[in-house]
Structure 1
């Protein structure tokens, strides 16, 4: 009789339990003790051996170990050598770099006071410069840029590959900023105080060591801050669980504790909520993504807002707190529907009273995509059948009155900049074939004017866009867009790229991408964007239909689109590829393990793949509301059915997958991609694997890195699908 080691342990266990009897002899006390000791040893041996057998790639979770990086460097070289030899590679790389480095691109504004600020990268500023121009000059179309700091020079001086992660200014004069800088693009960053008048970092100014978290000015000499304050100050998700008030001239460790969450929370944050002259210090405690507390600090008193725990406060304007409801809410015997946008009188809410006004209740085909405010007006970005519409709302005589902005239809609208001191704002419009245009607008007069458009790098007149519906397994209709040449033949031979995300209530909207156009469309490709469940295209219900035990709906939606493309003979499995990143990386990882028959190429970027350990890696614990908790047997029962890492099988005709991740990704651990690739390689499957040594969750830190990633992705797709 032959046994594997765990099976042999089980055999011995049964033997000592008396299930298998060699004879009927009576045991002495000493023999019984020996028998019990062996019994315990066998149990432990079985458990540990089984665990080791289940995951023999744990060593790849050690991000910077010599052994892990040796694996990475080996696979990087193999993949780069293969993909860079594809005929289209060099042309795609050069064209992508030209686009990324173009000095004719849109200079997006960030308005603070009388200046427009901008972070800019090109071939001469690889890591970028932070600069500003008087707003008046910018609006004239003739900005006079003043460089404030140069990250290339800083990186060279400091010996660190700095990446700009944003800034936070001192209201209302904005003569000082807290600058966020990360090493290699990670989410964790240091925060340094910067004086824009002297164009220097302040030597004795506020400085926060590398950590996740954030800071906001309360006044010139005070910050409200969440950070890693030392031992036991982070949650299991790696985010701060303390908010403090930090006075200039004192040590960070001596900052005054304002609020402390629990270690199993996602995290806490603090900021200043402003409504014209009124200011409120606010703490947000994220117990989970559906259990959120908003605490207002008033005269040393903590007032927890009596609003639904799954509700997202959007803004405070004219003493009206704006809420977007994730579920029905019964207030004063009136039900406000899930997905609605409402407001409450804020000062009355602080007293425990609810005075509610309905702003808008989207219909079945609509959802609230975003809410912004100018000095006096509320801007609401509404999605209707996955196309944007922009509205301006005014609060007059205790009522909200809305007017539609006369922006272009059938595309994507995004608010890009606004100011708390005026009703001017900027937004962009684009669709798959229309280059992004920046508009300057005024919410008070409801006027708009085109300000700057992207250079059209490909001839959009050759292409067309269609929106179709597929039918998912449970009968749900799933919309998707197809971008193709006008003379596309429906003979199943078109190289087609299907992209989707399907999670965290994030909507996938039409977008213009010069690099997709030149790299894919101009090389004969068809592009498909699927609006599967898990996203926010049709409100909270669309998202909630893909949560936890309902996750298979997301994957079934994706398959229905793929099958519909094949049925329509737009493509065929031989010519169909899929792409997704982060949660979308999980999506395509599940897709090729559950339905390998549908695809011939898979681009799996910054993915989650080991769903048994995802909650133990970096920020993974913060996503339990989305996927479920694998440590709970009942929840692991449905997670394990789709976890890509655990559903790999031998002798299956999987497509040759291209995994792409970053060593410096401190959100989704690179071990997901590493372990999956290593396991597939050891099972005899050919894969492509590339791990950028920097870049963070976005994958790239410089334009050259972005161009290289683009060239590898599309060269791989063209090689597999043409």
Structure 2
């Protein structure tokens, strides 16, 4: 059964004035104390009157009181939005479908997550054999009354007898690592604290490797800089204090170190980085000689110049993807048994960037991005193409993990109008069969998904996906449009399913996603074109996307909303300052808003690769020119802005959003509101319980709908066979 989206006579009215007589203009904002901090930086006086809002709410009663007063005003405002109830109900309905994670096989066991629909967290299940009876292994929905404690990473031991997993509480990046006996469900006494930005890797069946930081000073858990990352080995049944140091760089405390182990258990690979750029040093540890050599590592790559990512190994030969001499990436190998090991090319660079690669059944499966949509090919180990894996239309594929001696792998495929379907793929035959397909309350054919290309300010051709109801697309009507972007850190935006976005489209609006520079959609050059001194290109690309949507009649001039999170929150803040006339409304989520001080907290120091160094004058002047906090245009009519953040965000600390909102509210920006919604017991996004995700999405959607003239309450969604 699917839902007919509209009654036969239903028409969506797009009105220039609100659907409700309720006055939704800017409310009276809570008073915010202005401090007197003024600093002279590179000859310029910079005022920072809201620096006191940088304090953690756990340590400052004044900040906690400010948060409470801001939330009280925002909550009252959001409660009065006419579309809030509609969005809450419809997003809940669209979330309510059974969804599976990609299965992972170890021994004869298969491990996967499954959510029945509205569970706050996804439980982990196991089967003995692919067709065996499903058994609940971990149920994180029972770990906290508010549903905010989540299952982080997990990996089964090589024979499937034990499970290594991490626990994330309240959205923080910190993880607690535990071990379970799979047969009995007994959780061992082993407990690892202060792990962050860590992979999890078994070494045989007796222990595992993880990364951690030193324990922070009391009260500094969520703000202190993360330095001195180290890799440790933990032997089962021993206290953490006895863990063996595997790798560290005490002379370079800013470096991060992650470690993976090859599928056959022979090789441990330490990958070191200095920031967010894909520029690594790589060390190899031969675990087959650990008794004799301990954790002695052999340098494979030095210099932090290029990206290197382990695919897997076959005996003494290691396979990697790299962008060395290949901005769009290629596959290379190195034979550690050679007297003088040298890198050899296996699969040459193509016209499309490599998004991922795996080694399964004696073959390489390589996932490419073709104009931000997935394609995948199977190669033999000499680099000869065997076949293409066929996908249906514009979408995103992921997974393809497995074992070098098994022909079986699993992958997921999704698009804007289709939640992820899990497939089992036979590498030997090329056959894909459905492992789990969602049953959804809508017909994907009712929606139009297209890709267009537009021209940015400097002539660069930029792709953009546009999603509409099929009837709206056919009519050519200009409708309220939600434009989403990110533009940074080599991260590619690809088609994917979102209940809140689909609800917006069902209501008669359009959703657009622009693949602006700064991402990885076209390899290194696309990333470089949107970072450091080129950051303005990101904002120009996004502004050009909005202008294109208006010029092409996708959206009316007063009907464009924008949204972005994290680096995308920075994007929303920057373009709202630069073109407040272009946008009706915006949502800046967990954004980096103070570009002059971002490197002072938690993970902020890593971001200098994309943003530059605030303590270097050349970089500082670039940052000063677009920093959302420092470029608010006083007395100018601004779009309606809803800033969203969370009190436990220790990736982009909430002080960014606090200071930015205080400055917006003080600047006198017209009749449209500038509000902040501050979630409790939540972080940067991961681990957020379903009920909180639905509430937040409904609030944001209703806010943006009101100020763009989208009225979903006029759309009758009727159920039909």
Q: TM-score normalised by the shorter chain: which range applies?
A: 0.7 to 0.9
What does residue 412 of structure 1 align with? 396
Q: 1:236 to 1:358 in 2, by over 3 A?
A: farther
**Residues 1:208 and 2:193 aligned together:** yes
**Residues 1:453 and 2:469 aligned together:** no
What displacement does 1:417 show?
A: 5.1
**Residues 1:382 and 2:371 aligned together:** no
Aligned residues, how many?
653
**Residues 1:345 and 2:351 aligned together:** no
Q: Deviations over 1:150-204 (max 9, x none)?
A: 3343335xx995221121322x21211222012112111111121122212113x
What does residue 112 of structure 1 align with? 106
* 1:254-293 correspondence runs (5 A): 254-262=242-250, 265-276=253-264, 279-288=266-275, 289-293=277-281
**Residues 1:155 and 2:144 aligned together:** yes
What displacement does 1:418 show?
A: 3.4
Residue of structure 2 aligned with 1:146, choices 131, 135, 145: 135
* 1:25-174 correspondence runs (5 A): 53-64=47-58, 65-102=60-97, 104-106=98-100, 108-122=102-116, 125-137=119-131, 144-155=133-144, 161-170=148-157, 172-174=158-160
What does residue 587 of structure 2 align with? 603
**Residues 1:576 and 2:560 aligned together:** yes
What displacement does 1:527 show?
A: 0.9
What does residue 217 of structure 1 align with? 202
Structure 2 CA distance, aligned partners of 1:656 and 1:360? 49
Structure 2 CA distance, aligned partners of 1:495 and 1:160? 34
Contact 1:237–1:266 (Cα < 8 Å) also in 2: no
**Residues 1:556 and 2:540 aligned together:** yes
What displacement does 1:402 show?
A: 3.8
What does residue 528 of structure 2 align with? 544
Which structure exhibits the higher relative contact order, with contacts defined as CA atoms closer than 8 Å and separated by 6 or more residues? Answer: 2
SS at match of 1:93: helix
What does residue 716 of structure 1 align with? 703
Structure 2 CA distance, aligned partners of 1:534 and 1:93? 33
Structure 2 CA distance, aligned partners of 1:263 and 1:492? 61
Q: 1:521 to 1:441 in 2, by over 3 A?
A: same
What does residue 310 of structure 2 align with? 314
Q: 1:249 to 1:47 in 2, by over 3 A?
A: same
What does residue 323 of structure 1 align with? 320
Structure 1 CA distance, aligned partners of 2:682 and 2:348? 40
Structure 2 CA distance, aligned partners of 1:187 and 1:552? 30
What does residue 185 of structure 2 align with? 199
What does residue 176 of structure 1 align with? 162
**Residues 1:480 and 2:470 aligned together:** no
SS at match of 1:597: coil
Q: 1:216 to 1:55 in 2, by over 3 A?
A: farther
Q: 1:433 to 1:59 in 2, by over 3 A?
A: closer
SS at match of 1:598: coil
What displacement does 1:470 show?
A: 1.5
Contact 1:63–1:670 (Cα < 8 Å) also in 2: no
Q: 1:448 to 1:211 in 2, by over 3 A?
A: closer
Residue of structure 2 aligned with 1:423, choices 407, 421, 433: 407
Q: 1:699 to 1:645 in 2, by over 3 A?
A: farther
What does residue 678 of structure 2 align with? 691
Structure 1 CA distance, aligned partners of 2:652 and 2:39? 31
**Residues 1:296 and 2:290 aligned together:** no
Structure 2 CA distance, aligned partners of 1:669 and 1:451? 40
What displacement does 1:357 show?
A: 2.0
Q: 1:569 to 1:409 in 2, by over 3 A?
A: closer
Q: 1:261 to 1:387 in 2, by over 3 A?
A: same
Contact 1:494–1:571 (Cα < 8 Å) also in 2: yes
What displacement does 1:638 show?
A: 0.8
What does residue 361 of structure 1 align with? 349
Structure 2 CA distance, aligned partners of 1:290 and 1:522? 39
Q: Deviations over 1:380-424 (max 9, x none)?
A: 11111222211111114xx54442123334322222653455221
Q: 1:182 to 1:267 in 2, by over 3 A?
A: farther
* 1:599-638 correspondence runs (5 A): 599-638=583-622
Structure 1 CA distance, aligned partners of 2:486 and 2:377? 27
Structure 1 CA distance, aligned partners of 2:196 and 2:523? 33
Contact 1:501–1:584 (Cα < 8 Å) also in 2: yes
Answer with 254-263 or 554-563: which moved more.
Answer: 254-263
Contact 2:121–2:147 (Cα < 8 Å) also in 1: no
What displacement does 1:107 show?
A: 5.5
Structure 1 CA distance, aligned partners of 2:421 and 2:118? 25
Q: 1:105 to 1:281 in 2, by over 3 A?
A: closer
Structure 2 CA distance, aligned partners of 1:526 and 1:220? 51
Contact 1:497–1:578 (Cα < 8 Å) also in 2: yes
SS at match of 2:625: coil
Structure 2 CA distance, aligned partners of 1:227 and 1:377? 34
Structure 2 CA distance, aligned partners of 1:61 and 1:427? 43
Q: TM-score, normalised by structure 2?
A: 0.84
SS at match of 1:198: coil
Structure 1 CA distance, aligned partners of 2:377 and 2:665? 52
What displacement does 1:374 show?
A: 1.9
Contact 2:500–2:701 (Cα < 8 Å) also in 1: no
Structure 2 CA distance, aligned partners of 1:81 and 1:236? 34
Structure 2 CA distance, aligned partners of 1:387 and 1:402? 21
What displacement does 1:250 show?
A: 4.4
**Residues 1:498 and 2:479 aligned together:** no
Structure 2 CA distance, aligned partners of 1:327 and 1:100? 42
Q: 1:161 to 1:494 in 2, by over 3 A?
A: closer
What displacement does 1:505 show?
A: 1.4
* 1:650-665 correspondence runs (5 A): 650-665=634-649
Segments of structure 1 that go 5 or more residues without pairing to the other structure are 1-43, 139-143, 329-336
Q: 1:666 to 1:230 in 2, by over 3 A?
A: closer
Q: Deviations over 1:502-554 (max 9, x none)?
A: 1111111122334322x201111011111111111111111111120011111
SS at match of 2:210: strand
Structure 1 CA distance, aligned partners of 2:216 and 2:79? 46
Answer with 528-537 or 440-449: which moved more.
Answer: 440-449
Structure 2 CA distance, aligned partners of 1:700 and 1:662? 12
Give RMSD over aligned pairs: 2.9
What displacement does 1:47 show?
A: 5.4
- Name the structure where helix makes up a greater proportion of residues: 1
Structure 2 CA distance, aligned partners of 1:134 and 1:439? 19
